[in-house]
Amino acid sequence: MGRPVTHNNKIKMVEAPQGIAGEGFFTTKLSEVVGLARSNSMWPLPFATSCCGIEFMATMAAHYDLARFGSERLGFSPRQCDLLMVMGTISKKMAPVLKQVYLQMAEPRWVLSVGACASSGGIFDTYSVLQGIDQVIPVDVYVPGCPPRPEAILDGFMRIQDLVKTESVRRRTGPEYQELLESYGIQ
């Protein structure tokens, strides 16, 4: 029998936010702490309509394991989630449903567009397919590919984490964000 395997040496701690440290104290900005907490506890809502959703299943499974990023808890109730992951072909009939799900999510919320279909309609340049979900909702990060491999989905997820980590706590109430929402007809 071999020695029991311990994984303790593989545990990687997140880096502390920028701040000033001294003996017995550490100060930083509220934005940095909130960003750190949010970015390592994203709750995704998978909106999977076709083949890209299968890649997402692999991303969730043991080998790629999205849980390593603090996101093992998928939610199918929009009110509990803060990351909308759109994976697959979105028909024009489906677009209002997607928008409704987005509207039901509480702020702050982010959107990851996974794959060519969600990002641009992909190969389906037809009358019935939405040519990109950014026609109905704002998108934060696009993942290219048809389908993207799980590594690409993870990379897109980490780009979302970068955005979340550095977002000001005041952004959502600022005029630029309000303008963005208004451009989508969202008050």
Q: Residue 50 interacts with ligand SF4 (CB under 6 A)? A: yes
Structure tokens that stand for 89 in this block: 């072909």
User: CB-wise, 45 or 116, nearer to ligand SF4?
Assistant: 116
Strands (DSSP E) along 40-176, which ranges? 44-48, 83-87, 110-114, 141-143
| Cα-only R_g, the chain | 19
Q: Residue 117 interacts with ligand SF4 (CB under 6 A)? A: yes
User: CB-wise, 157 or 165, nearer to ligand SF4?
Assistant: 157
Candidates 36, 42, 45, 52: give the one binding ligand SF4 (CB under 6 A): 52
- Binding piece for ligand SF4, criterion CB under 6 A, among 67-75, 94-102, 113-121, 129-137: 113-121
- Binding piece for ligand SF4, criterion CB under 6 A, among 10-18, 31-39, 71-79, 110-118: 110-118
CA 111 vs. chain centroid, Å, equals 5
138 burial via Cβ count (<10 Å: 0-12, 13-18, 19+): middle
Strands 25-28, 19-22: pairing is antiparallel
In the complex, which residues of this chain contact ligand SF4 (CB under 6 A)? 50-52, 88-89, 115-117, 122, 146-147
